[in-house]
């Protein structure tokens, strides 16, 4: 939704960004045109003192009242934009307020929230069934073409678009997640600065005894910085450390890689650095965020922790500490927002272990890697080819053995081969990503102008170009 906000600003809309939390979102080039505000969070004692179901009901009531009052006090725009999931209670409150004010609603579908609840519990529960009623059934009944509130819908994939239409009759447009300008291939100079910084925090990256070198870069006598020919391979994965990202598969594949290298003394396999990371400087609590965009209110609900701060991180850190790898190093750093795209752009390979709860959404973190020009190995599911074509810009895998085989084959040294980034197959994937970017297929704002902006203008034909 941050991309939507920036695109509205670039199209001459004013933006007020408000939501729960106390930390501002990461900076962007348009932030001087965006005003940030915050609304109250539910009391923490709900979860601490009350049974789960009672705490959930009280949260819904609290959020409903808080959101409605916030709209009454702060919304003076012409349109409401809602991201789903999560949808409860946001979708109902936004619909009710839109009905009172006579403004249209846009819904940006990224998944079905009830499937996330079912995945968390492992079964259909009363809570997930209720959520489905408040999400899919409500939208089909009240936010359709014949509803009292004018509405338009966007979906993050063609598969989700088709499914939503079959379930509800709602017609929508596909708006893919695409990388923002922060995500670019990283230059050796920027990589040198980053790894000097990380080397001060992580001993495995520390080569401070050689002032002009990092593990991955070096400064020559002329003062120029370049990638080291003898650098390790760098594998990066962006993780939220929630049940959606099960890293046991990754660790087992690294076991196989380490054993393969150890049993192949005549093959100069690369030492493998695996960095599993997230980004900080975002609100870290369970949040529901609202964004008022010029004549537009965007409601963003974030029910999962910020990447890098999920509940499973300490669990996997303990497992990793017990590994006795000789040729693999795994680090779990916390990165400032500004360092996150720089690290991604340094990677030889990215890995996605996203398990879609509905089978209809797409792994957003893969989008960041593609922006940085990095091929990705991704856990396969039916919708994935919409984003990642197998053997074109990366590989699909379904088992530990497949992932391990892809790692060893893609990082296999060649006779005329200097550094993992020059692998013939990896080079082909990178070239395909570069051509995709040059073609404009990776340009979020161009897509937004082509699909979203005409819809907004159609809903508000008399709306001025700029509002306050």
pLDDT tens, 369-399?
999 999 999 999 999 999 999 999 999 999 9
**360 & 425 share domain:** yes
Amino acid 9: pLDDT:
87
**CATH code of the domain in which 42 resides:** 3.40.50
Query: Which tens digit of pLDDT belongs to each residue from 297-329?
Result: 443 333 223 344 456 778 888 899 999 999 999
Q: What pTM, to 2 d.p., does this model score?
A: 0.85
Whether 293 maps to a domain, the answer reads no
- Arithmetic mean of pLDDT, 30-47: 76
**28 & 121 share domain:** yes
324: Cβ contacts below 8 Å, ≥ 6 apart: none
User: How far apart are the C-alpha atoms of 285 and 457, rounded to whole Å?
Assistant: 35
278 phi/psi in degrees, rounded to 5: -145, -170
Name all contacts of 432-436 with Cβ < 8 Å and 24+ positions apart.
432/392, 432/393, 433/370, 433/373, 433/374, 433/375, 433/393, 434/373, 436/370, 436/393
Amino acid 52: pLDDT:
80
Give yes or no for a contact between 205 and 333, defined as CB atoms under 8 angstroms apart: no
**236 & 361 share domain:** yes
The number of domains in the chain is: 2
**245 & 120 share domain:** no
Amino acid 247: pLDDT:
83
**25 & 161 share domain:** yes
In percent, the amount of the chain with pLDDT more than 90 equals 49
Whether 106 maps to a domain, the answer reads yes
The residues facing 151 across adjacent strands are 105
Closest CA to 172 of 154, 147, 158: 154
**315 & 455 share domain:** no
- Arithmetic mean of pLDDT, 138-162: 95
Amino acid 296: pLDDT:
40
The residues facing 219 across adjacent strands are 225
Amino acid 242: pLDDT:
64
Q: In which domain, by residue range, is 266 found?
A: 188-285+305-438
Amino acid 421: pLDDT:
53
Amino acid 294: pLDDT:
33
Give yes or no for a contact between 154 and 109, defined as CB atoms under 8 angstroms apart: yes
The SS3 assignment for 427 reads helix
**401 & 449 share domain:** no
Q: Is the per-residue pLDDT at 285 higher than 50?
A: no
Q: Which residue has the higher pLDDT, 263 or 127?
A: 263
Amino acid 315: pLDDT:
81
**426 & 447 share domain:** no
What integer best gives the mean pLDDT of the chain? 84
Burial 328-353 (b: 16+ CB within 10 A, else e): bbbbbbebeeebbbbbbbbbbbbbbb
**199 & 157 share domain:** no
**453 & 393 share domain:** no
Whether 226 maps to a domain, the answer reads yes
User: How far apart are the C-alpha atoms of 359 and 384, rounded to whole Å?
Assistant: 9
**26 & 162 share domain:** yes
């Amino acid at each position: 939704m941050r991309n939507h906000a920036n695109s509205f600003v670039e199209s001459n809309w004013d933006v007020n960004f408000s939501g729960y939390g106390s930390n501002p979102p990461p900076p962007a080039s348009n932030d001087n045109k965006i005003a940030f505000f915050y609304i109250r969070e539910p009391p923490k004692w709900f979860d601490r003192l009350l049974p789960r179901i009672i705490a959930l009901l009280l949260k819904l009531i609290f959020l409903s009242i808080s959101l409605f009052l916030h709209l009454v006090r702060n919304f003076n725009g012409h349109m409401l934009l809602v991201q789903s999931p999560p949808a409860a209670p946001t979708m109902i409150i936004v619909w009710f307020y839109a009905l009172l004010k006579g403004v249209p609603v846009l819904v940006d579908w990224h998944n079905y929230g009830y499937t996330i609840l079912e995945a968390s519990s492992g079964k259909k529960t009363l809570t997930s069934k209720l959520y489905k009623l408040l999400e899919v059934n409500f939208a089909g009944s009240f936010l359709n073409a014949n509803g009292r509130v004018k509405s338009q819908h966007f979906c993050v994939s063609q598969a989700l678009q088709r499914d939503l239409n079959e379930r509800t009759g709602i017609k929508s447009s596909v708006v893919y997640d695409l990388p923002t300008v922060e995500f670019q291939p990283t230059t050796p100079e920027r990589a040198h600065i980053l790894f000097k910084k990380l080397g001060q925090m992580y001993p495995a990256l520390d080569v401070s005894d050689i002032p002009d070198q990092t593990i991955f870069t070096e400064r020559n006598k002329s003062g120029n910085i370049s990638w080291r020919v003898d650098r390790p391979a760098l594998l990066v994965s962006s993780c939220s450390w929630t049940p959606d990202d099960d890293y046991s598969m990754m660790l087992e594949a690294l076991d196989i890689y380490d054993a393969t290298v150890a049993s192949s003394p005549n093959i100069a396999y690369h030492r493998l650095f695996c960095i599993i990371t997230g980004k900080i400087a975002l609100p870290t609590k369970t949040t529901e965020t609202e964004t008022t965009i010029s004549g537009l209110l965007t409601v963003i609900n974030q029910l999962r922790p910020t990447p890098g701060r999920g509940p499973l991180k300490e669990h996997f850190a303990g497992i990793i500490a017990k590994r006795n790898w000789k040729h693999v190093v795994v680090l779990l750093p916390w990165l400032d927002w500004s360092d996150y795209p720089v690290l991604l752009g340094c990677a030889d390979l990215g890995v996605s272990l996203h398990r879609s709860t509905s089978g209809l959404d797409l792994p957003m973190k893969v989008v960041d890697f593609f922006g940085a020009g990095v091929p990705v190995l991704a856990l396969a599911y039916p919708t994935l080819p919409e984003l990642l074509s197998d053997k074109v810009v990366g590989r699909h895998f379904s088992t530990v053995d497949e992932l391990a085989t892809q790692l060893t084959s893609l990082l296999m040294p060649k006779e005329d081969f200097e550094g993992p980034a020059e692998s013939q197959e990896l080079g082909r994937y990178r070239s395909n990503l570069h051509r995709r970017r040059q073609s404009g297929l990776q340009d979020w704002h161009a897509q937004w102008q082509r699909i979203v902006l005409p819809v907004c203008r159609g809903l508000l034909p008399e709306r001025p170009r700029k509002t306050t």
